[in-house]
Amino acid sequence: MEQETKLPNEAPRPEGELEELERVWATPKGFRIVTAVNNTVVGIAYVGGAFVFFLAAGVLALLMRTQLAVPENDFLSQDLYNQIFTVHGTTMMFLFAVPAVEALGVLLLPQMLAARDLPFPRLSAFAIWAYFVGGTVFFLTVFFDLAPKGGWFMYPPLTLLEFSPENNADFWLLGIGFIEISAIAGAIEIIVGALRTRPPGMSLARMPIFAWSMLVFAAMIIVAFPAVILATMLLEIERAFGWPFFTADKGGDPLLWQHLFWFFGHPEVYIIFLPAAGLVSMIVPTMARHPLVGYRLIVVALIGTAFFSFGLWVHHMFATGIPSLSLGFFSAASMAVAIPSGIQVFSWIATIAAGKERFRINTPSLFVLGFLFIFTVGGLTGVMVALVPVDWQVHDTYFVVAHFHYVLVGGMVFPLFATFYYWAPMASSTMLSERLGRWVFWLMFLGFNVSFFPMHLTGLIGMPRRVWTYPDDLGWNGLNMISTVGAYMLAVGVLVFVIDLVLHFRPSAAGGKGNPWDAGTLEWLPGGVYSTRSIPYVTSREPLWDQPNLTREVEEGRHFLPGAPTGGRETIVTSPIDARPQYIIRMPGPGWPQMVAAVFMAGFFLLLTVKLVVPALICGVISVASCIVWAWGLDHGPGTGPVDIGAGIKVPTYMTGPTSHSWWAMFVLIIVASSLYIAYVFSYFYLWVVSPDIWAPEGSPALPQPLLPFASALLVVGGAASMFAGGRLLPAPGTRRVLAPVFIAIGAVCLASAVALEAWGHWTTGLRPTANAYGAMVYMASFLNLQVGLACVVLAGFAIARYVAGKLDNVRRLSFDNAALLYYYAAAQILLGLVVIHGFPRIAY
C-alpha cells in the first residue's frame, strides 16, 4: 500500500466530476448563509467575530486610560469603571483571545491538512453561533448597568450574594460558563481533525507546526477549562441556592475559587500563546526561504510548555499565605517553563539566520519581529514575578499589568496581525496593502511600548492596579499621561488596519492570489469551496517545495478523492500515527439544527441568569430536540460499500468503534467530563483540609441503611452489564430482537436509579447542602452524577429510537457504541464518587 499510494491517478478524470464537486460543496446563498458549515465560511465569520470583540474591548480600554490620564478624574464613575474594567478583561480573555486562535484553527487547519473540512462541520458551526449569541449578550450588559463588577477573575467573597446582590455577577458566571462549553466543542473538533483527517502520507512527523500547536492547544482546553466551569457552577449554585462552597464561616474557603480559576487561568496564557507561536513557526520559514530549524525540538517544546503550565497556577497566589515549601516549588516551576519557550525563540532566530540572505522584510515579518521583542520583554518580567520576594513587592501593582500585557499582546496579538497579512490571500481575492500594513505595524509597535512600558515604572513606585483614580501628589501623573497617549497611538494603528480591511479584503472561497509568498505548505494549493481538487499524497513537511509537480497534479484531480463518490460531502479519515487511508467520512451539509440548538441553548443560560426558569427550561428542551434532529441524520450506515479514492485504493464509507472518528470525539468528551470530576474531587479534599471540623462528623454520611451505597453500586454495575448485553444482542441487518432495546433501557433505568438512590439516602438523614460546605460537596457529587446520567439516558433513548426506526443493528451501531462508551465512563464516575463520599471519611476518621 505504501508503494501504491505514491502513484497519482494517471487516467483522465470523468467529465462533470469537478462540477459535481462544486455542487455538493456549494455555499448557501442569501439569508441561508447562516446555515453554512463550510470551514472557509464559518472560519472567516469566527475570526471576524473575535476581531469585533477585540475592537469593542479596545474601546473600553481607551475609556479606562482616559479616566487614568490625569489624577482625581471624574470622566467615569467608580461603579461604571469597575464594570468597564471587568468587561474589558473578560472580553479580551474569553471572547477574543481563545476564540480567535480557535477560529484560526477552524479556518486554517483543514487547508493545511488538505482536508475537505473538519470532521464535524456542524459542531464547528454550533460552537460559533453559541459564541456569537452568548458573547454579544454578555458584552451588551455594560450598556444597561448589568455588567459584573468583580474583575475578569471574579474573586469571592466580593462576588458572593452578600456583596454582589444584583444579577451582574450571574451574567458573568452563566454567560462565560456557556462560552467555555462552546470552546470545548471547538477543541474536540480540532483534536479529531488533526489526528484523523490528515492527508495520506502526512505522518505526525510531517505535520505542520501549526497543526501540532492546535493539537496541544485543544488538549490543554479539554483539561484546563473544566476547572473554571466547575468553579462557575459552584459560585452560581452558592449565589442561587446558598450552598456554602466559598463562605468561610460554614466551612467553605474563598481561596478554593482561586485554585480552580488559576488552574485554568495560567494554562490559558499558553493556550493563547502556543497557537500564535505555531503561526510564527509557519511564517518564519517562508520569509527565510528555509525549512524550520529544530522542528522536532519545537514539537517537544510545545508539549513541554503544556505540561509545565499545569503546574504553575499558584504562581498567581504567592501573596495568599500558602506554605513556604509550596512557594519554592511553584516558583521553580514558573521559571522552568521559560526553557521550552526559549527553545522556540532560538529556533526562529536560527531559521532567520539560516536564510538571512533571502529573508524578506514585509508586513508579516515586521509583526513577527515585533512579537519577538515584546514577548521576550514579557518573558523577562515573568521570570521576575516568578521570584517570590519580587512578586510580594509588585503584586497587585501596575508592574503586573505591564507584564501580562507584554506577554498576551506580544505573544498573541502581534502574531495574529502577522497572520492577517500573511494568510489574507488564502481567503481573499485581493491582498492587504503593504504600505498601510507598515503604518499599522509601526503605530501598533510604538503605541504599545509607549503605553505599557511606563506601567512597569508606575507599578514599581507603588501604583496599585484596579483603581479608578488616584491623588495628585504621588508622582504617577506623567507616567499615566504617557501611557494614555500610547494607548491612543495603538488604537490609531488598529484603526488603519480596519481601513485596510475595508479597502482590500474581499472574501473568496478559492482565494485569488495563488501562492504569493512561495510557501511550502498545503494551504496554498489552488482550490475552491471544496478545499482542494484532490487530496495529495504527502512525502515531506514542505510538500510544495519538495514535490514540484504537486500543485498541477492536485488541480488535475490526480491524487485522492478527486470527486464525490457517495454523492455527498466527504473527506478521508487516516490512521492517527502514519496517516494511512482508513475510510471516508460522509459529512452533513448546510442546515438549521445546529444554529437553532446554539441559539436556544444560549437562551437557556441567559434566561436562567434573570431567574426566568420556565422559559429557560423551554429553551433547553428546544435545544436538546434540535441536537437530536441534528444527530439523527449523521449515521448513514454502510449502504454504499467501499469506494475508490484513487491510486487503486478502496476504503469503506462507514466505521464504528475505536476506529471511528465519532468514537474518538466521544472519548475526548469523556476526558472533559473526567477533568471536571477530578476538579470536584480536588475541591472536596481541599475543603476537608481547610475545615476538618465540619467534615463527616460521624465518620461517614449517615444513611437509613448502611448497605445503601452498596445498593447504588450494584445498580451501576448491573446497569453496565445490561448495556453490554444490549450491545451483544443487537440483531443482524434486516432482523429484529426485542431483547436488545430492553437491555439498553434497563441500563438507563439502573443508572438513573443509582443517582436518585444516593441523593435520597442523604436527604432522608437530614443532611442539607445549605448547612455547611461538607453537605454542599456531598450533594454536588450527586449533581455531577445527575448531569452525566441524564446524558446517558438521552443517548440510550436515542439508540432505542433508532432501533425502533430500523436504523440500529449489529453493523450499523454507531449510536449505541458511543452511548455505551459514555455509559461506562458514567458508571466509573459514580463508583468513584461512592468511594470518596462513603469510603474516605471512614478511613480518615
The whole-number pLDDT of residue 462 equals 93
Grid coordinates given for 526: 489552488
Rg of the chain over all Cα atoms, to the nearest angstrom: 28
Q: Where are the beta strands (DSSP E) in 643-785?
A: 643-646, 649-651
The whole-number pLDDT of residue 266 equals 86
Which residues lie closer than 8 Å to 502 by C-beta, 6 or more apart? none
In one-letter notation, the amino acid at residue 226 is P
In one-letter notation, the amino acid at residue 722 is S
Task: Extract the residue ranges of the chain whose pLDDT is less than 50.
Answer: 1-5
The whole-number pLDDT of residue 226 equals 95
Give CA torsion, residues 232, 233, 237, 243, to 10 deg: -100
Give CA torsion, residues 696, 699, 705, 711, to 10 deg: 80
Residue 265 near residue 314, CB atoms below 8 Å: no
Residue located via cell numbers 513541554: 304
- DSSP class of residue 14 equals P
CA gap 826, 834 in Å, rounded: 12
Residue located via cell numbers 441536537: 627
Q: Is 755 exposed, middle or buried (0-12, 13-18, 19+ CB in 10 A)?
A: buried
Grid coordinates given for 797: 433513548
Grid coordinates given for 809: 443493528
The whole-number pLDDT of residue 528 equals 83
Q: Where are the beta strands (DSSP E) in 141-281?
A: none
- Give 465-486 pLDDT, tens digit per residue: 999 999 998 999 999 999 999 9
DSSP codes, 607-659: HHHTT-HHHHHHHHHHHHHHHHHHHHTT---STT--EEEETTEEE-S---GGG
Grid coordinates given for 737: 430482537
User: What does the buried/exposed string (b/e) look like for 98-137 if buried means 16 or more CB atoms within 10 Å of the residue's CB?
Assistant: bbbbbbbbbbbbbbbbbbbbbbbbbbbbbbbbbbbbbbeb
The whole-number pLDDT of residue 608 equals 86
Residue 65 near residue 15, CB atoms below 8 Å: no
What is Dmax (Cα atoms) for the chain? 87
User: Hey, CA dihedral for 370, 376, 377, 382, is it positive or negative?
Assistant: positive
Cβ neighbour number for residue 566 with a 10 Å cutoff? 16
User: What phi, psi does 535 have (nearest 5°)?
Assistant: -90, 120
Which residues lie closer than 8 Å to 133 by C-beta, 6 or more apart? 598, 599, 602
Torsional class of 127: left (φ above 0), alpha (ψ -120 to 50), beta (otherwise):
alpha
Grid coordinates given for 669: 468528551
Which residues lie closer than 8 Å to 219 by C-beta, 6 or more apart? 187, 191, 306
Q: Which of 498, 467, 418 is nearest to 54 (CA)?
A: 498
CA gap 169, 164 in Å, rounded: 7
The whole-number pLDDT of residue 513 equals 62
Residue 224 near residue 268, CB atoms below 8 Å: yes
The whole-number pLDDT of residue 582 equals 94
Question: 661-690 and 254-288 are packed helices; what angle lies between their axes, rounded to 10 degrees?
Answer: 140
- Give 11-60 pLDDT, tens digit per residue: 777 888 888 888 999 999 888 999 999 988 999 999 999 999 999 999 99
Torsional class of 247: left (φ above 0), alpha (ψ -120 to 50), beta (otherwise):
beta
CA gap 268, 700 in Å, rounded: 38
Omega of the bond prior to 157 within 30 degrees of 0, cis?
yes
